[in-house]
């Protein structure tokens, strides 16, 4: 899940290499969207026999880049394995904070649970990494390895689909629009993907009626690898440890409450947060400015169309309660990269259909799991409150249930990709 701790340290991203692209160019795979999932897919394909072009509307070095801002993402062990196989985990780990323990509680009620990584033979359940650092590592690796045409800043303004290729109109810089023919176009441009819309891929959307309020905090105790998930009367509240000893906070609130708490004085917010969280992480001393993000469930009704596939948030955008959105999108990219390298035609209809089948179980399982958590812990009916607290206590006593949850970032079904198994693609 992405979490935004405003005020986190920033790092300079490498500029995209200038690529001499003629007015009409061709490639095997055109990836539209160079955020975390799109850049990861490009990196997985870098240096392969496929000609890949990555198109990103906002330069990676720009402070306006929405994908590589100061939010924080929780990477599960499945994501770590993929990045390790791609050779970039050592760089990511330089500013990653391990989550060695998770404490779950229901505010004002008796239910609670604790998970410890060492009980499952794990060094950590996952790692928190700033999006800015992750973006720096991915784009630096793309620049160093070569073999990928990087167009940024550049924007796709039109898409035409034909049996043999997709034709993209790309604008950017001072020159005239350029035409790119791609045997496959990958929509990695977010929940409101232009590519998805122009390809006629319909999405469903359900507003959760919540806004995620996100900030960094520092307490009188250095973070010790403990993540806190607390369900309050206003919404789920998560605190994740950061590599600098602080925490990032993500608090799901009704829109009016989120607006009030975003605009109030820092001391007022700090007092409200302390009241809801309690003293588990110590006394809250500092709070950075808050950012707000509306929460909804967005699902593409199909995984692709003629010469087009969708990955990451273009395929599904989840509530952050389980912190699994990016992990799911990264598994999309890993599975797709493996299939593309084995195909004679990366955009053939049978490949697009098989990609949808291969990813269906994992996507459906994660969407259902996340949505049920939101509904269960958002309910305030007395019987449901009692039932969920009893369930938390039973979960806390069940090693099997804890083990299943500890493996969440490996997916909900289907065969693991080669990258997820630690095997190179070629």
- Residue 188 to residue 336: CA distance in whole angstroms: 12
Q: What is the pLDDT of residue 193?
A: 94
Q: What is the pLDDT of residue 13?
A: 40
Q: Residue 141: CB partners within 8 Å, gap ≥ 6?
A: 43, 46, 86, 87, 88, 91
Q: What is the pLDDT of residue 150?
A: 93
Q: What is the pLDDT of residue 114?
A: 86
Question: Mean pLDDT for each consecutive 10-residue tract of the chain (426 residues)?
Answer: 38 42 80 96 96 88 70 93 98 96 81 86 93 92 93 92 94 80 96 94 93 94 92 86 95 95 95 91 94 93 96 94 91 98 96 96 92 75 70 76 79 88 91
| CA-based max dimension of the chain | 66
Which contiguous run of DSSP H or E holds residue 157? strand 155-161
Q: What is the pLDDT of residue 175?
A: 67
End-to-end Cα, the chain, rounded Å: 30
Q: What is the pLDDT of residue 376?
A: 73
Structural tokens at position 52? 């890949």
Q: What is the pLDDT of residue 339?
A: 98
- Residue 374 to residue 207: CA distance in whole angstroms: 12
Q: What is the pLDDT of residue 314?
A: 96
Burial of 103 (0-12, 13-18, 19+ CB in 10 A): middle
- Exposed e or buried b per residue across 228-253, where buried means at least 16 C-beta atoms within 10 angstroms of its C-beta: bbbbbebbbbbbbbbbbebbbbbbbb
Please name the residue that has the structure tokens 């790119």.
180
Using CA atoms, how far residue 48 sits from 44, 181, 212, 250, 337, in Å, is 9, 19, 40, 39, 10
In this prediction the pTM is: 0.89
* Topology, domain 2-96+125-204+297-365: FAD/NAD(P)-binding domain (3.50.50)
Contact present, 301 and 199 (Cβ < 8 Å): no
Structural tokens at position 309? 């596939």
Would you tell me how many other CB atoms lie within 10 Å of the CB of residue 375? 11
Burial of 215 (0-12, 13-18, 19+ CB in 10 A): buried
């Amino acid at each position: 899940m992405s979490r935004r701790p405003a005020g986190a340290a920033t790092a300079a991203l490498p500029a995209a290499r200038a690529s001499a692209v003629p007015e009409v160019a061709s490639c095997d795979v055109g990836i539209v969207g160079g955020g975390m999932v799109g850049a990861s897919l490009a990196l997985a394909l870098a240096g392969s026999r496929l000609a890949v072009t990555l198109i990103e509307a906002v330069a990676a070095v720009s402070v306006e880049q929405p994908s590589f801002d100061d939010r924080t993402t929780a990477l599960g062990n499945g994501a770590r394995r993929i990045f390790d196989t791609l050779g970039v985990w050592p760089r990511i780990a330089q500013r990653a904070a391990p989550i060695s323990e998770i404490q779950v509680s229901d505010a004002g009620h008796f239910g609670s649970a604790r998970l410890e990584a060492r009980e499952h033979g794990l060094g950590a359940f996952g790692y928190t990494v700033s999006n800015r650092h992750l973006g720096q590592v991915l784009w630096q690796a793309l620049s160093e390895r070569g073999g990928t045409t990087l167009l940024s800043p550049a924007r796709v303004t039109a898409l035409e689909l034909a049996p043999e290729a997709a034709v993209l109109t790309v604008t950017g810089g001072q020159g005239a629009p350029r035409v790119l023919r791609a045997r496959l176009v990958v929509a990695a441009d977010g929940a409101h993907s232009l590519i998805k819309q122009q390809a006629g891929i319909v999405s469903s959307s359900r507003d959760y009626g919540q806004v995620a309020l996100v900030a960094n905090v520092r307490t009188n105790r250095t973070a010790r690898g403990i993540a806190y998930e607390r369900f309050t009367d206003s919404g789920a509240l998560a605190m994740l440890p950061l590599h600098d000893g602080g925490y990032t906070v993500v608090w799901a609130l009704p829109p009016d409450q989120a607006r009030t708490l975003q605009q109030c004085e820092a001391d007022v917010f700090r007092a409200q947060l302390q009241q809801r969280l309690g003293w588990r992480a110590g006394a809250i001393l500092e709070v950075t400015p808050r950012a707000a993000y509306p929460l909804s469930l967005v699902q593409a009704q199909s995984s692709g169309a003629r010469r087009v596939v969708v990955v990451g948030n273009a395929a599904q955008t989840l509530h952050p309660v389980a912190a699994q959105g990016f992990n799911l999108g990264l598994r999309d990219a890993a599975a797709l990269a493996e299939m593309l390298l084995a195909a004679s035609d990366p955009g053939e209809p049978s490949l697009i259909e098989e990609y949808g089948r291969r990813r269906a179980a994992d996507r459906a399982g994660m969407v259902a799991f996340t949505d049920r958590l939101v509904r269960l812990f958002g309910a305030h009916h007395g019987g449901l409150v009692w039932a969920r607290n009893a369930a938390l206590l039973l979960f806390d006593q069940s090693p099997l249930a804890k083990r299943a949850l500890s493996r969440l970032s490996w997916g909900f079904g289907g065969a693991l990709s080669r990258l997820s198994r630690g095997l190179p693609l070629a």
